[in-house]
Structure 1
Amino acid sequence: MPSLRGGTTEAKDANEEVQKICDDIKSSAEEKAGKTFEIFSAKSYKSQVVAGTNYFIKVHVGGEDYVHLRVYKKLPCEGSTLSLHGLQMSKVHQDPIEYF
């Protein structure tokens, strides 16, 4: 069930679409973090419908380390392009995905 405009969905397990978003945005995340991630595996996410979609994604980056991404996906009529709007470092598996 889609979320109401403005609110985020409940956290869901990452799927192929969310992993593809992570694959496409990985180089931007590495640039923002100032490091290279050997592993970049989406684990869970929330989404928010706005004039496009915000994705808040928990990504496993190796060992016990996780990052949280905020990725904006434009509407299909605007090309469905992705942009990294935020990155939170030093997360662990138990950290909930929050709006940021």
Structure 2
Amino acid sequence: MSSHGNVGAYSDPKPATEHEQKIADAVKEEAEKKMGYRFEMYKAVEYQSQMVTGTNFRIVMQVANLLPGQIRITVYVDLEQKCKLLEAESWPQPPEK
């Protein structure tokens, strides 16, 4: 069995490393624009990956010292290692009413 699990499924959450921080850094300005504010900090906390033609990364980012203080970005990294922000959202998601 592959260490990446099932193709198409996201991996279990894992602690972020320098690799995921570099991916996040590549899309920081785009994430700030999408969220509508500048981040106090920008530290990768945990991530999940999904093998596609390239890799999708869901990365939880610490962006402030106060709660909620986190966002989750989804980044596509193509086979040439180019990064594209797909989504940036508050994290954890507020409960639906």
TM-score range, shorter chain: 0.7 to 0.9
Tell me, yes or no, if structure 1 residue 73 matches structure 2 residue 59.
no
Please report how far the alpha carbon of residue 72 of structure 1 lies from its aligned counterpart in structure 2 after TM superposition: 0.3
Larger Rg: 2
Q: Segments of 4+ in structure 1 off by > 3 A?
A: none
Aligned to 2:9: 7
Aligned to 1:21: 23
Aligned to 1:85: 86
Task: Calculate the TM-score normalised by the size of structure 1.
Answer: 0.83
Post-superposition CA distance 1:39-82 (Å, at most 9, x none) = 0100000000001100001000012210000000001xxx2110
The amino acid across from 1:72 in the alignment is Y
Q: Which runs of 5+ in 2 are unaligned?
A: none
The amino acid across from 1:43 in the alignment is V
Matches within 5 A, 1:38-53: 38-53=40-55
The amino acid across from 1:54 in the alignment is N
Task: Calculate the TM-score normalised by the size of structure 2.
Answer: 0.86
